[in-house]
Amino acid sequence: MNGENEQPMSVPATTESRDAHGPRRVWAIVRSTYHWLLSAAYFFPVCSFLVLLGIFVDPRKNDGAQRWLCRVTMKAAGVKLNVKRSPGFDPARTCFFLVNHVNLFDPFVLYATVPQFFRGLELESHFRIPVYGWMMKRFGNVPVPDNNRPSDLKRMWRLTRAALDSGVSLAVFPEGQRTLDGRVGAFKDGVFRMALQFGTPIIPVSVVGAFQFNKKTSWLLRPGAITVYLHDVIETKDLGKEDVPALRDRIHAIISRPIHESLDNSQKTN
């Protein structure tokens, strides 16, 4: 794993079938309801306060409060977060963080564990959501157009370049959608083309255990551990357009390895 000595964590998986009937199903519903209510009771008041604070204070200056919000929200949801850093991980580098996409909790997991101020590329349609959209714009997230009109794409590239030039790293889900089976899907080329054109390094990030905690197809939560692997920095400044496929496949392999190993180990024990 690109110089990483730690063994990926094996997270026992509780399958849908085991919760499908009887007392286990009832317990899963009760437990999930409790954790949803607990996390929401903390998140919404504190987040509202930070949104109001963001009107007067640069979000960078209350970055610690935002991280605390994410950590406590995940703890209330029943998650124990672990972080494993590769020897070549450099928290000081402005970069693209490329991450596998699992569920709605992914941004919370990332912001609670990545030791650097960063923002994300997010679908432009999300910016039209009341309150949330304003908050994302105020916090500096970069809108990704819902269509491929050249003018919209140029605007995204311009905003991306401006963020990176100001020292703000950007988190990207290169799959473009959440996984349905826990495995890492195919990556889109866009972020790799930007990284090569800008000469911006890439840090692959593997989030292991998130699929066992919550799936796109279910609202149920299964409390447990999530481990975030922060891999070595990968340089892009000496690469050209012809290197996009190889770079994409290399990073896909790095991100997917601990995730797929964990899933395979879980299947063997069930």
Burial class (CB within 10 angstroms; exposed 0-12, middle 13-18, buried 19+) of 141 = buried
Given CA atoms 182, 187, 188, 192 in this order, what sign does their dihedral have? positive
pLDDT at 143: 86
pLDDT at 32: 97
pLDDT at 3: 38
Residue with tokens 């790095």: 254
Given CA atoms 206, 69, 215, 267 in this order, what sign does their dihedral have? positive
Element (H, E) at 98: strand 96-99
pLDDT at 270: 65
Q: How far apart are CA 84 and CA 257, in angstroms?
A: 14
Chunked in runs of 10, what are the mean pLDDT values of the chain (270 residues)?
A: 41 46 89 97 89 80 90 97 97 97 95 94 82 72 84 90 94 95 96 96 98 96 98 96 97 98 85
What angle do the packed helices 63-76 and 106-113 form, to 10 degrees? 130
Burial class (CB within 10 angstroms; exposed 0-12, middle 13-18, buried 19+) of 32 = buried
Q: How far apart are CA 169 and CA 93, in angstroms?
A: 8
Q: How far apart are CA 252 and CA 56, in angstroms?
A: 40
